[in-house]
Amino acid sequence: MGKIGIGLNLEAVRTSHKNFEWGVEFAADLGYEYIEPMVHWGRELLSEARYFHSVSMLDDPYRIKDCVEKHGIKLSAFSSHSQASKPEIAVEYLKQAARFAKEAGAPIINTHEGHKQPWTTAEEDFVLIKYSLTEALKVCERRGIKIGFEMHQTYSLDPDLYDKCLNLVDSPNLGANYDTGNAHLGGHDAVEWFDRVKDKVIHVHAKDISIEQSDAERGKVMGTAVGCACGDGVVDYPAIFEICRDLPQDIVFSVECETLEQAERSVKYLKEIRG
Protein backbone atom coordinates (compact mmCIF):
# COMPACT_ATOMS: atom_id res chain seq x y z
CA MET A 1 0.00 0.00 0.00
CA GLY A 2 1.07 3.55 -0.63
CA LYS A 3 2.01 6.03 2.06
CA ILE A 4 0.29 9.29 3.00
CA GLY A 5 2.72 12.20 3.36
CA ILE A 6 1.99 15.58 4.91
CA GLY A 7 3.40 18.66 3.18
CA LEU A 8 3.04 22.42 3.12
CA ASN A 9 2.43 24.53 0.05
CA LEU A 10 4.50 27.64 0.68
CA GLU A 11 1.49 29.85 -0.07
CA ALA A 12 1.06 29.64 3.70
CA VAL A 13 3.92 32.11 4.18
CA ARG A 14 2.88 34.51 1.41
CA THR A 15 0.98 36.95 3.59
CA SER A 16 3.86 37.01 6.08
CA HIS A 17 6.23 38.35 3.39
CA LYS A 18 8.85 35.68 4.01
CA ASN A 19 11.23 34.11 1.54
CA PHE A 20 11.71 30.55 0.35
CA GLU A 21 14.43 29.62 2.83
CA TRP A 22 12.43 30.98 5.74
CA GLY A 23 9.40 28.97 4.58
CA VAL A 24 11.36 25.72 4.38
CA GLU A 25 12.72 26.14 7.90
CA PHE A 26 9.26 27.07 9.18
CA ALA A 27 7.69 23.96 7.64
CA ALA A 28 10.42 21.68 8.98
CA ASP A 29 10.13 23.11 12.49
CA LEU A 30 6.39 22.40 12.49
CA GLY A 31 6.99 18.78 11.55
CA TYR A 32 5.98 18.84 7.91
CA GLU A 33 7.57 16.08 5.86
CA TYR A 34 7.34 17.81 2.47
CA ILE A 35 7.06 21.25 0.93
CA GLU A 36 5.62 22.45 -2.36
CA PRO A 37 7.42 25.60 -3.53
CA MET A 38 6.17 27.98 -6.20
CA VAL A 39 8.46 28.58 -9.17
CA HIS A 40 8.30 31.34 -11.74
CA TRP A 41 9.92 32.57 -14.93
CA GLY A 42 12.23 35.54 -15.05
CA ARG A 43 12.74 37.85 -12.11
CA GLU A 44 10.15 39.12 -9.65
CA LEU A 45 10.82 42.16 -7.48
CA LEU A 46 9.56 40.87 -4.13
CA SER A 47 11.20 37.47 -4.59
CA GLU A 48 14.55 39.06 -5.38
CA ALA A 49 14.19 41.23 -2.28
CA ARG A 50 13.41 38.06 -0.29
CA TYR A 51 9.92 39.21 0.73
CA PHE A 52 8.14 36.49 -1.25
CA HIS A 53 8.45 32.71 -1.26
CA SER A 54 8.48 32.00 -5.01
CA VAL A 55 11.77 30.94 -6.64
CA SER A 56 12.87 31.97 -10.11
CA MET A 57 13.68 29.16 -12.52
CA LEU A 58 16.64 31.30 -13.57
CA ASP A 59 18.16 30.51 -10.17
CA ASP A 60 20.28 27.44 -9.55
CA PRO A 61 17.87 24.56 -8.74
CA TYR A 62 20.39 23.42 -6.15
CA ARG A 63 19.28 26.43 -4.11
CA ILE A 64 16.06 24.48 -3.50
CA LYS A 65 17.65 21.04 -3.28
CA ASP A 66 20.28 22.07 -0.73
CA CYS A 67 17.80 23.96 1.43
CA VAL A 68 15.29 21.12 1.80
CA GLU A 69 18.07 18.62 2.47
CA LYS A 70 19.53 20.92 5.12
CA HIS A 71 16.24 20.89 6.99
CA GLY A 72 15.55 17.18 6.54
CA ILE A 73 12.40 17.39 4.43
CA LYS A 74 11.51 16.59 0.82
CA LEU A 75 9.84 18.16 -2.19
CA SER A 76 6.38 16.85 -2.99
CA ALA A 77 5.93 18.95 -6.15
CA PHE A 78 6.43 22.36 -7.69
CA SER A 79 3.54 24.78 -7.94
CA SER A 80 4.15 25.63 -11.59
CA HIS A 81 0.66 26.71 -12.58
CA SER A 82 0.50 27.93 -16.14
CA GLN A 83 -2.49 28.33 -18.40
CA ALA A 84 -2.52 25.09 -20.40
CA SER A 85 -5.13 26.59 -22.73
CA LYS A 86 -2.54 29.25 -23.61
CA PRO A 87 0.32 27.34 -25.26
CA GLU A 88 2.36 30.53 -25.64
CA ILE A 89 2.66 30.49 -21.84
CA ALA A 90 2.27 26.88 -20.79
CA VAL A 91 4.58 25.00 -23.15
CA GLU A 92 7.85 26.71 -22.33
CA TYR A 93 6.87 27.31 -18.71
CA LEU A 94 6.17 23.63 -18.06
CA LYS A 95 9.18 22.42 -20.02
CA GLN A 96 11.43 24.67 -17.96
CA ALA A 97 9.68 23.57 -14.77
CA ALA A 98 10.32 19.92 -15.66
CA ARG A 99 14.03 20.53 -16.21
CA PHE A 100 14.24 22.59 -13.03
CA ALA A 101 12.33 19.92 -11.05
CA LYS A 102 14.67 17.18 -12.21
CA GLU A 103 17.72 18.96 -10.84
CA ALA A 104 16.02 20.18 -7.68
CA GLY A 105 14.53 16.79 -6.86
CA ALA A 106 10.78 17.47 -7.22
CA PRO A 107 8.87 14.53 -8.74
CA ILE A 108 5.78 16.46 -9.88
CA ILE A 109 4.95 19.81 -11.48
CA ASN A 110 1.39 21.06 -10.98
CA THR A 111 -0.69 23.03 -13.45
CA HIS A 112 -4.26 23.58 -14.69
CA GLU A 113 -6.11 24.64 -17.84
CA GLY A 114 -6.54 28.34 -17.13
CA HIS A 115 -9.23 30.91 -17.76
CA LYS A 116 -11.52 30.76 -20.79
CA GLN A 117 -10.64 33.06 -23.65
CA PRO A 118 -13.60 34.83 -25.31
CA TRP A 119 -12.55 34.01 -28.87
CA THR A 120 -12.18 30.22 -28.61
CA THR A 121 -14.71 27.40 -28.57
CA ALA A 122 -14.61 24.58 -26.03
CA GLU A 123 -13.49 22.21 -28.78
CA GLU A 124 -10.60 24.52 -29.65
CA ASP A 125 -9.66 24.89 -25.99
CA PHE A 126 -9.25 21.16 -25.55
CA VAL A 127 -6.99 21.04 -28.60
CA LEU A 128 -4.85 23.80 -27.06
CA ILE A 129 -4.72 22.06 -23.68
CA LYS A 130 -3.75 18.78 -25.34
CA TYR A 131 -1.03 20.53 -27.32
CA SER A 132 0.47 22.12 -24.20
CA LEU A 133 0.40 18.91 -22.20
CA THR A 134 1.80 16.83 -25.07
CA GLU A 135 4.77 19.13 -25.58
CA ALA A 136 5.47 19.35 -21.84
CA LEU A 137 5.15 15.61 -21.30
CA LYS A 138 7.81 14.94 -23.93
CA VAL A 139 10.25 16.70 -21.60
CA CYS A 140 8.75 15.23 -18.43
CA GLU A 141 8.78 11.59 -19.53
CA ARG A 142 12.51 11.53 -20.29
CA ARG A 143 13.22 12.91 -16.83
CA GLY A 144 10.75 10.89 -14.78
CA ILE A 145 8.74 13.99 -13.88
CA LYS A 146 4.95 13.85 -13.64
CA ILE A 147 2.40 16.58 -14.37
CA GLY A 148 -0.33 16.97 -11.76
CA PHE A 149 -3.37 18.48 -13.47
CA GLU A 150 -5.55 20.32 -10.98
CA MET A 151 -9.26 21.05 -11.05
CA HIS A 152 -9.28 24.81 -10.83
CA GLN A 153 -10.70 26.77 -13.74
CA THR A 154 -12.89 26.72 -16.82
CA TYR A 155 -13.47 23.02 -17.47
CA SER A 156 -11.78 20.99 -14.77
CA LEU A 157 -14.35 21.81 -12.06
CA ASP A 158 -16.82 19.58 -13.91
CA PRO A 159 -16.06 15.91 -13.08
CA ASP A 160 -16.75 14.68 -16.62
CA LEU A 161 -14.62 17.38 -18.20
CA TYR A 162 -11.89 16.80 -15.61
CA ASP A 163 -11.80 13.17 -16.71
CA LYS A 164 -11.46 14.41 -20.27
CA CYS A 165 -8.51 16.62 -19.29
CA LEU A 166 -6.79 13.72 -17.53
CA ASN A 167 -7.16 11.56 -20.65
CA LEU A 168 -6.16 14.06 -23.33
CA VAL A 169 -2.68 12.56 -23.53
CA ASP A 170 -1.93 8.86 -23.19
CA SER A 171 0.99 9.13 -20.77
CA PRO A 172 1.78 7.49 -17.42
CA ASN A 173 3.30 10.84 -16.43
CA LEU A 174 -0.03 12.70 -16.45
CA GLY A 175 -2.09 12.48 -13.27
CA ALA A 176 -4.44 14.36 -10.98
CA ASN A 177 -3.42 17.03 -8.52
CA TYR A 178 -6.66 16.76 -6.54
CA ASP A 179 -7.69 19.96 -4.75
CA THR A 180 -10.17 19.19 -2.00
CA GLY A 181 -11.27 22.79 -1.53
CA ASN A 182 -11.75 23.52 -5.22
CA ALA A 183 -13.80 20.34 -5.59
CA HIS A 184 -16.12 21.47 -2.81
CA LEU A 185 -16.43 25.05 -4.01
CA GLY A 186 -17.23 23.75 -7.47
CA GLY A 187 -20.41 22.32 -5.97
CA HIS A 188 -19.35 18.69 -5.69
CA ASP A 189 -18.84 16.18 -2.90
CA ALA A 190 -15.07 16.22 -2.38
CA VAL A 191 -14.97 12.62 -1.08
CA GLU A 192 -17.09 11.14 -3.86
CA TRP A 193 -15.09 12.94 -6.54
CA PHE A 194 -11.81 11.83 -4.99
CA ASP A 195 -13.03 8.23 -5.04
CA ARG A 196 -13.93 8.64 -8.72
CA VAL A 197 -10.41 9.71 -9.75
CA LYS A 198 -8.41 7.94 -7.03
CA ASP A 199 -6.44 5.77 -9.46
CA LYS A 200 -5.10 8.88 -11.20
CA VAL A 201 -4.31 10.96 -8.09
CA ILE A 202 -0.59 11.65 -7.69
CA HIS A 203 -0.73 14.70 -5.38
CA VAL A 204 -3.34 16.47 -3.25
CA HIS A 205 -3.85 20.10 -2.36
CA ALA A 206 -5.24 19.82 1.16
CA LYS A 207 -7.39 22.91 1.13
CA ASP A 208 -10.19 23.12 3.67
CA ILE A 209 -13.08 25.56 3.23
CA SER A 210 -14.70 27.39 6.11
CA ILE A 211 -18.46 27.21 6.53
CA GLU A 212 -18.65 30.94 5.86
CA GLN A 213 -16.73 30.72 2.59
CA SER A 214 -18.69 27.67 1.54
CA ASP A 215 -22.01 29.41 2.14
CA ALA A 216 -20.89 32.51 0.25
CA GLU A 217 -19.03 31.02 -2.72
CA ARG A 218 -19.93 27.38 -3.36
CA GLY A 219 -21.04 26.95 -6.95
CA LYS A 220 -20.12 30.55 -7.77
CA VAL A 221 -16.31 30.54 -8.08
CA MET A 222 -13.60 28.63 -9.95
CA GLY A 223 -11.62 27.47 -6.95
CA THR A 224 -9.83 29.64 -4.44
CA ALA A 225 -6.23 30.57 -3.71
CA VAL A 226 -6.06 29.21 -0.17
CA GLY A 227 -8.39 27.83 2.47
CA CYS A 228 -8.67 27.68 6.25
CA ALA A 229 -6.79 25.30 8.54
CA CYS A 230 -7.41 21.66 7.73
CA GLY A 231 -9.98 20.35 10.17
CA ASP A 232 -11.69 23.72 10.64
CA GLY A 233 -13.84 23.52 7.54
CA VAL A 234 -16.23 21.33 5.59
CA VAL A 235 -13.87 18.82 3.92
CA ASP A 236 -14.05 15.27 5.30
CA TYR A 237 -10.34 14.42 5.45
CA PRO A 238 -10.77 11.22 7.50
CA ALA A 239 -12.93 9.79 4.69
CA ILE A 240 -10.41 10.78 2.02
CA PHE A 241 -7.55 9.29 4.03
CA GLU A 242 -9.48 6.02 4.28
CA ILE A 243 -9.68 5.86 0.49
CA CYS A 244 -5.95 6.54 0.24
CA ARG A 245 -5.07 3.66 2.58
CA ASP A 246 -6.13 1.17 -0.09
CA LEU A 247 -4.28 2.83 -2.96
CA PRO A 248 -0.92 1.54 -4.22
CA GLN A 249 0.63 4.96 -4.88
CA ASP A 250 2.21 7.32 -2.35
CA ILE A 251 0.25 10.57 -2.05
CA VAL A 252 1.34 13.79 -0.36
CA PHE A 253 -1.33 16.06 1.09
CA SER A 254 0.09 19.54 0.51
CA VAL A 255 -1.66 22.00 2.83
CA GLU A 256 -2.93 25.19 1.17
CA CYS A 257 -3.84 27.64 3.91
CA GLU A 258 -3.54 31.37 4.46
CA THR A 259 -1.58 31.94 7.68
CA LEU A 260 1.29 30.56 9.71
CA GLU A 261 -1.04 29.69 12.55
CA GLN A 262 -3.30 27.74 10.20
CA ALA A 263 -0.27 25.84 8.91
CA GLU A 264 0.59 24.82 12.47
CA ARG A 265 -2.90 23.56 13.25
CA SER A 266 -3.20 21.80 9.88
CA VAL A 267 -0.16 19.60 10.33
CA LYS A 268 -1.27 18.57 13.82
CA TYR A 269 -4.75 17.69 12.57
CA LEU A 270 -3.63 15.74 9.48
CA LYS A 271 -1.00 13.77 11.39
CA GLU A 272 -3.57 12.90 14.04
CA ILE A 273 -6.08 11.48 11.59
CA ARG A 274 -3.35 9.74 9.59
CA GLY A 275 -2.19 7.94 12.72
**Strands, sheet with 201-206, edge to edge from the N-terminal-most edge strand:** 74-75, 34-36, 4-9, 251-255, 201-206, 174-179, 146-150, 108-112, 78-83
Domain that holds residue 270: 4-274
pLDDT tens per residue, the chain (275 residues)? 899 999 999 999 999 999 999 999 999 999 999 999 999 999 999 999 999 999 999 999 999 999 999 999 999 999 999 999 999 999 999 999 999 999 999 999 999 999 999 999 999 999 999 999 999 999 999 999 999 999 999 999 999 999 999 999 999 999 999 999 999 999 999 999 999 999 999 999 999 999 999 999 999 998 898 999 999 999 999 999 999 999 999 999 999 999 999 999 999 999 999 99
- In the chain, how many domains are there? 1
Which are the contacts of 85, defined by CB distance < 8 A and separation ≥ 6?
A: 113, 114, 115, 116, 117, 120, 125, 128, 129, 132, 154
CATH assignment at residue 51: 3.20.20.150
Residue 62 Ramachandran class (φ > 0 left, ψ -120 to 50 alpha, else beta): alpha
User: Which one, of 13, 16, 59, 58, lies nearest residue 36 by Cα?
Assistant: 13
